[in-house]
A and B are shown apart, each in its own frame.
Chain A
């Protein structure tokens, strides 16, 4: 158990809909990262937050947005969903944006868009 909690684990929805994925980082971790893993693909970095502030942005679509709340949990909002958005979405956390440690990953939220 990495200590990173993601909900929901599975989500099935239709094209055009909007969903919210939630992540609770490890206790004490200030930095949260979101990654997308499409079928049999590598992990693509979407966005990073540190202590409530956006710190880095990767290949995140304009239809997607995220935020980190004062209690440090984070939400990834996906809107106007398309079939190609079907993927496993991982949240990861670390103590600070610059440290020597690894990222700790949640179990992922599997999104299926029909």
Chain B
């Protein structure tokens, strides 16, 4: 079974600064997808960014980018020019591209605080 680990329960960043959230995963599969979801106080799950494992190029979405290291099974999220609205729980998630049961497996989450 796949596991996803987020080793930072909490992170803090100054507004306008850059922060990196860490995520590692364990899998024996070669084809899969990785995601970062944001959960603000409203508790809605919002997709931030996705990465296909077969793509070597790191995904980027505006101020959000990832550092995907397939061999190291690492998938970190970098948030540039942090804004107050970025304060939330961030979940890293893994999804197999093989087999019939391709649910999302989530890490435990990182709570990001943004200081004004």
- Cβ–Cβ < 8 Å partners of B101 in chain A: 48, 55-56, 97
Query: For residues 82 through 116 of chain B, which have their beta carbon under 8 Å from a beta carbon of chain A?
Result: 91, 95, 97-109
Q: Are the C-beta atoms of A45 and B102 separated by less than 8 Å?
A: no
Find B102's partner among A88, A90, A97, A110 (CB 8 Å cutoff).
Answer: A97
Alpha-carbon distance between A50 and B33 when the two chains are bound, in angstroms: 20
Alpha-carbon distance between A56 and B1 when the two chains are bound, in angstroms: 13
Name which of A42, A88, A98 has the most chain B CB atoms within 10 A of its CB.
Answer: A42
Count residues on chain A whose CB falls below 8 Å from chain B CBs.
23
Q: Answer whether residue B52 sits at the interface, using C-beta atoms and an 8 A cutoff.
A: yes
Q: Answer whether residue B35 sits at the interface, using C-beta atoms and an 8 A cutoff.
A: yes
Find B44's partner among A48, A102, A105 (CB 8 Å cutoff).
Answer: A105
Closest to A102 in B: B47
Nearest Cβ distance between residue A37 and chain B, in whole angstroms? 8
Find B106's partner among A43, A50, A102 (CB 8 Å cutoff).
Answer: A43
Q: Are the C-beta atoms of B43 and A98 separated by less than 8 Å?
A: no
Q: Are the C-beta atoms of A43 and B100 separated by less than 8 Å?
A: no
Alpha-carbon distance between A23 and B19 when the two chains are bound, in angstroms: 36
Query: For residues 12 through 60 of chain B, which have their beta carbon under 8 Å from a beta carbon of chain A?
Result: 33, 35, 42-45, 47, 50, 52
Name which of B45, B50, B106, B108 has the most chain A CB atoms within 10 A of its CB.
Answer: B45
Q: Are the C-beta atoms of A56 and B103 separated by less than 8 Å?
A: yes
Q: Are the C-beta atoms of A58 and B103 separated by less than 8 Å?
A: yes
- Cβ–Cβ < 8 Å partners of A55 in chain B: 100-101
Alpha-carbon distance between A88 and B45 when the two chains are bound, in angstroms: 12
B residues apposed to A, CB below 8 Å: 33, 35, 42-45, 47, 50, 52, 91, 95, 97-109
A residues apposed to B, CB below 8 Å: 2, 33, 41-43, 45, 48, 50, 55-56, 58, 88, 90, 92, 97-98, 100, 102-103, 105, 107-108, 110
